[in-house]
Amino acid sequence: MRRIPRGIWVLLSANVVIALGYGLIAPALPTFARSFDVGITAASAVVSAFAVMRLFFAPTAGRLISVVGERRVYLIGLLIVAVSTLACAFAQNYWQLLVVRGLGGIGSTMFTVSAMGLLIRMAPDDIRGRVSGYFSAGFLIGNISGPLIGSALVGFGLRMPFVVYAIALLVASAVVATQLRADGESAGPGTQRGGEPVALATAWRNRAYRAVLVSNFANGWASFGVRVAVVPLFVVDGLDEDAALAGVVLAAYAAGNVVAIMAAGRLSDSHGRKILILPGLLVVSAATAAMGFTTSIMVTVAVSAVAGLGSGMFVPTQQATLADVLGNRVRGGSALAAFTMASDLGAVSGPIVVGFIASTAGFTTAFAVTGAVTAVALLMWLFAPETAPVRLTRADGSGPQIPDPDLGAPDHK
């Protein structure tokens, strides 16, 4: 079995630290916003503000990467988020919190797009699923421990998690600055490092790429938007439970992810992408809709874990599909930026729409709408082609190709 390149292990380690800090503030952020005497919709907007800035800055981040390289953009982005997060801890009113949290989205999209570009460029073709699985698992390891630690830190005040998160980001910056070479890290055989990135117009002609964008939008809506912004409010306002238990619900989702995510990455390399994406989306859609009908914290935790299982099946696999479509030459570019923008668009609109629905029609309807959004992604994938290189070779057996007649060219490499 091919070894994973050292540069990817550096990114995986930094990703754990980043995710740990992100998980730290997840239980506290909506409640901290509510402490300034605002409603559910306004509290959800704090989560959306971060994603709004990510969304608008993503094209610029893609261009920056093309000019100065992934490593520099990655480091600058981490430092921007660290400063913004520390400023959140000292916010004196709702509007200050909204602004400084939103500014952190600029740095976040910088290190997200650059990290994705590095992974696609450094991962050999035949282990893309496994690399995507490890990367997602690293994020989830932090997400499992982060909310639990964050819930404990809330006992020292709602501002404390933000201070700890800022420190975690500085640690991640140090890891990347000292351990990842300035040229990235050659992935070895099976990768290519030069050439032009795939343009959005070209990638859009691929049905698999279009399905990836829709499912990533649904993931942003459900996982990064509704789960972070609305689920903690559901625990407090819908179930009448303590805010600290919101961290337990979020951790259950992350735990379900971990159970599925490692196997999903390996299986997608050997058996294909769609065989995991389709059931994963189905499980997420059903479990998310069911959450609105739960009436006890134990049932909510269980349903959250099931939703996490489904997410763990399709999230790393769709990332591997993106790498199949774009190929190892990607370096910035609009097609890669559009992938992150799709998730951010869901994370922006999800909390606002679902937060409004929850405040007017109730949490049951709000979670049902989120399940429907994921169901739309499932329909898109039913008509998408398979892209796993291990299952698709040229007629002469020389290498992988993208099996979509609408794409035009047989291969983007």
Got the DSSP string for 250-313? HHHHHHHHHHHHHHHHHHHHHH-SHHHHHHHHHHHHHHHHHHTT--SHHHHHHHHHHHHHHHHH
DSSP-based three-state secondary structure for 249: helix
362-382: per-residue pLDDT in tens? Answer: 999 999 999 999 999 999 999
Of the candidates 52, 51, 79, 75, which has an alpha carbon nearest to the alpha carbon of residue 64? 75
Of the candidates 158, 68, 177, which has an alpha carbon nearest to the alpha carbon of residue 113? 68
Find residue 184's DSSP bridge partners: 181
Is 284 in contact with 381 (CB distance < 8 Å)?
no
DSSP-based three-state secondary structure for 181: strand
Q: What is the C-alpha separation between 396 and 394, in angstroms, rounded?
A: 5
Torsion, CA 176, CA 178, CA 180, CA 183, rounded to 10: 120
Q: What is the C-alpha separation between 266 and 257, in angstroms, rounded?
A: 15
**pLDDT for res 307:** 94
Indicate whether 409 pLDDT > 60. no
240-292: per-residue pLDDT in tens? Answer: 888 778 878 888 887 888 889 878 888 888 888 999 999 999 999 999 999 98
Q: What is the C-alpha separation between 16 and 118, in angstroms, rounded?
A: 16
Q: What residue ranges define each of the domains in the chain, with the CATH number in brackets?
A: 6-180+195-407 (1.20.1250.20)
Is 31 in contact with 160 (CB distance < 8 Å)?
no
Indicate whether 348 pLDDT > 70. yes
Is 120 in contact with 323 (CB distance < 8 Å)?
yes
| pTM tops 0.75 | yes
